[in-house]
Amino acid sequence: MRQAFILLLLTGIAFGQSFYNRLGYGTFNASASAYAASMGYATVAYSDSNTVLNANPAAWNRLRRVFFSSGGSSAVTQINLDGSRIQRNDTRFQTGQIAFPIGREVGFALGLEPVTDLNSEMDSESAEGVLSETQSGGIWRYYLGAGYRVTPKLSIGARLDILNGLQQRSFIQEYDSSAVATGAAVSSEISGIISGSSFAVGGQLDFTEKLQLGLLLDLPLEQPHFSGTVIMSGVAGELDYEEAFTDWPVRVEAGIRYRQSERLNLYVSLAQWVFTEDAFSEAVLPGMPSSWSARSMGALQLGLVRLPRDLNSRRIVERMETRLGFNSRNFYLTPVSGQLIYEYFAAGGFSLPLMERKSRLDASLEIGKRSGVEDYPDEWISRIRLGVQLNEVWFRNVKRR
């Protein structure tokens, strides 16, 4: 009986949705930080003692200070649908992190950031009336881990991710009085908590003085599990509903950093989110039209980083670090036609030291497009990210006279 109610809810959604956030787990985020976004998320081989990124825990061994970082983003999505233009804005807090050394060769970090986004809404008209569908929520990652320098050229690291999120999906079908003797409305809503965990291991190798290699493997420990309730008009009370999401992907990423010159670094990485062939085939809650199928998601990420000329200079231009990036990837669900959904993003950004180099401002701008399926509208997306990083030396030995 409960399965029937859920299927009825998702049947209405499946035929009413047009935006990619409504499919499966929604849209996966590569990273939430402004720094990573501005270099195309090609950060698996990135390591620096002045910047803390969470892509590869092997890089955390280089920490020499205590770092605090946080940031937010503002994204505008424009959708052209049936001759009309739909535009929505999403502004929110994105990430928080603290990292510090716990030994000469060991660094520790913990923080949080979003993994997937599910926010979407749509109204569709038919001869019977208007169907209004709304979805909100997403999955966040709460992580902690450490990096260790095994040799002067080899570093390894591990990270534990606790996955937690909220999901709420609802629709209201308002029937036209001409289709029904008396106007009526039918509504359904499902809401609850998603929880799970994963474990990542990474490594970085200084292959030569100019070339560094990076590798990351992220494996699910506890598959995400949904626990919530269903409310339907005409049914008294709430119905409990639980579902295990057995389709969380394995992630593999490999990349290189090439030092072109003293101030110019090039980053290239390939990432793969591996789904099984029958993923989502038996799922009820992760929405997927019956004619769609799962596939692995691959990404190409490129980044170019130009280091500042002089951090002590009075000229802002000489203290500024600039970055360019590009990334492309396919979506992890495909319609029966076999058409692939692709995302293309160009990015750029900068970092500016503040307060005598004890803090730093990061900014990035991404502009891109998500498209590929004729029956689904193209989405043009522009996203601004801002972040701040504070650093300080703690536990310093003070000589007293």
Residue 397 is assigned to a structural domain of this protein: no
By mean pLDDT, which of 77-81, 136-140, 240-244 is the weakest? 77-81
Which CATH number does the domain housing residue 117 bear? 2.40.160.60
Query: Does residue 398 lie in a domain region?
Result: no
Residue 401 lies in a domain: no
Q: Which domain covers residue 337, as residue numbers?
A: 2-392
How many CB atoms lie under 10 A from the CB of residue 372? 17
Question: Alpha-carbon distance 208 to 202, whole Å?
Answer: 19
Determine, yes or no, domain membership for 323: yes
Beta strand residue intervals within 19-105, DSSP E: 27-28, 66-81, 84-101
| Any domain includes 241 | yes
Residue type, 143: Y
- In whole angstroms, give the CA distance from residue 386 to residue 72: 6
Please write the tens of the pLDDT for every residue from 90-142.
888 889 999 999 888 899 999 999 999 887 777 766 666 777 778 888 899 99
Q: Which residue has the higher pLDDT, 393 or 360?
A: 360
Mean pLDDT confidence for 303-327: 90
Task: For 84, list phi and psi in degrees, rounded to 5.
Answer: -110, 155
pLDDT at 367: 96
The helix/strand/coil state of 187 is strand
**How would DSSP label each residue in 224-284?**
EEEEEEEEETTS-S-EEEEEE-TTPPEEEEEEEEEE-SSSEEEEEEEEEEE--TTTTSS-S
Q: For 325-338, how does the pLDDT look when each residue is reduced to its tens digit (9 = 90+)?
A: 999 999 998 887 77
- Strand-pairing partners, residue 228, are 192, 241
- The pTM assigned to this predicted structure is 0.86
Q: Flag whether 399 is in a domain.
A: no
Residue where the block lists tokens 């590869």: 56
Print burial letters for 271-287: b (CB count within 10 Å at least 16), e (below 16): bbbebeeebbeebbbbb
Does 356 or 341 have the greater pLDDT score? 341
Average pLDDT value over all residues in the chain: 84
- For residue 322, give the amino acid letter: T
Among 175, 143, 180, 139, residue whose Cα is nearest residue 158: 143
Q: How many domains does the chain have?
A: 1
What pLDDT digit, counting tens, does each position of 157-191 carry? 999 999 999 988 887 877 766 545 455 677 788 88
Q: What pLDDT does residue 83 have?
A: 65
263 domain residue, yes or no:
yes
Please report the pLDDT score of residue 393 as a whole number: 62
